[in-house]
Structure 1
């Protein structure tokens, strides 16, 4: 149970810091919005969020997956026991949902001040395509996740949490986001997308817009496919 708690808390920390920047740069009367933050601001924040989440999970010696695509791919590749997969994934989704719930509460007055057309959208919490094209959107998520996991395994050999490794993973997330992320928002992680998307749908957030459920399958399936291909490719070397 300690490992499941670690994945829950690590994913919660990841989402609090990640979606927190989404709220900060999109909602009216948030101080950050007035400074005209850039794409780099968002990518940098998500890199830090991943680093802090991995360090949190590392306290419980979970391996710092924080991501169902990582957990599934590592299991497929023989690097993680199958009997822990369901517990890890459940903990990750619950952590992501609760992290988004915390941000919805912290920024509640700002949601009240922001209409949908002004930035109160599911994009604060979840990803979406710059150009909606399901085939290429799925390909983008597959490619981004493939290169994330491929390089991750080259750096870590599956040991994510020791020492400075979480910081390196954060830089890797930034590199992926800056290079491959601007097509779909680089979900890379089904829990990171679906948990907060579900929170946006279910919680009483004022002035909220569409949840874009018709797109939600892409940031679930794409990362899983990309991660499994990456693990199989590394194992074949």
Structure 2
């Protein structure tokens, strides 16, 4: 428990960097008069992947979860430690999730500061909210939930696979790069229906920031949808954690 403070800080900083760069690329694409305006979904997807890379790099002390779904997935997989010798307990689990939420709010707030003039000149409230949080292309809460469960299952299942490969001197030796590429491929393949939150903190933290920040003409924070990118990733991460110890030995 002596390392919990350092681990908490690492999760805050890593998640803040992740959200700053991830929501930042959305702002660059979606807001009026930016240099990246109209860059498209592929630019956003690559930006989020590299944002994950940067966040993981600066938070290795905590194990670089940066995502409550990853934390829950590790617990259901049978992990006994999170990072730097911090044991898995109710207190440490709540500390990890609190750090991820705090970092996400900080990162999202920094995006607003960086793009303040562009937020002021953006006429569409939906574009402003889209910088902060995800929304479905076709609103169907049940099917949107299914999409988030599937996407997060892939994320957490493969991350656990990277850990096993690292123990054998395999892919995980490359560090953060495989996770970044994984996020990119999830975005390009499964991101179309919902915008692929695959991380409760990534969506809920910035949505809270959108609600509280004095953003000109911001409109609704769409709380009616907000439970989907929280519950879906938590379910997907938990299922992946249960499945990994059973399937990974069989798969190699």
TM-score, normalised on structure 2? 0.88
Unaligned runs of 5+ in 2: 82-87, 248-252
Structure-1 residue corresponding to 2:205: 195
Q: CA-atom RMSD, angstroms?
A: 1.6
Rg bigger for which structure?
2
Q: For residues 123 and 163 of structure 2, what CA distance do their matches in structure 1 show?
A: 44
Is 1:26 the equivalent of 2:35? no
Give 1:229's aligned residue. Answer: 239
CA spacing shift, 1:158–1:69, aligned 2, 3 Å: farther
C-alpha change, 1:178 and 1:120, in structure 2 (3 Å) is closer
Q: Work out which of the residue numbers 149, 157, 169 in structure 2 matches 1:150.
A: 157
Q: What is the aligned partner in structure 2 of residue 12 from structure 1? A: 16
1:103 corresponds to which of 111, 115, 133: 111
Q: Contact conserved, 2:19 with 2:104, CA < 8 A, in 1?
A: yes
1:15-164 map, 5 Å: 15-33=19-37, 36-58=38-60, 61-79=61-79, 80=81, 81-82=88-89, 83-116=91-124, 120-157=127-164, 163-164=173-174
Match of 1:218 in 2: 228
Consecutive unaligned residues of structure 1, counting only runs of 5 or more, are: none
The match for 1:208 among 209, 218, 230 is: 218
What do residues 77-99 of structure 1 show as CA deviations (whole Å, max 9, x unaligned)?
22141241011100000000000
What's the CA shift for 1:152?
1.7
- SS state of the match for residue 157, structure 1? helix
Any runs of at least 4 consecutive aligned residues in structure 1 with deviations exceeding 6 A, and if so which?
none
CA positional deviation for 1:163: 4.9
- 1:159 Cα offset (Å): 6.6
The answer as to whether partners of 2:75 and 2:241 remain within 8 angstroms in 1 is no
In 1, the alpha carbon distance for the partners of 2:25 and 2:70 equals 24
Please state whether the residue corresponding to 1:11 is helix, strand or coil: helix
Q: Which residue does 2:195 correspond to in 1?
A: 185
Q: Is the 8 A contact 1:63 1:159 kept in 2?
A: no
Quick one: distance in 1 between partners of 2:165 and 2:8?
18
Q: Distance in 1 between matches of 2:210 and 2:92?
A: 28
Find the residue that maps to 1:152 and give its secondary structure. helix
Partners of 2:99 and 2:217 in 1: CA distance: 29
Confirm or deny that 1:166 pairs with 2:170.
no
**Deviation sequence 1:45-85 (CA, Å, 0-9, x none):** 00000010000101xx1100000111122122221412410
TM-score after normalising by structure 1: 0.93
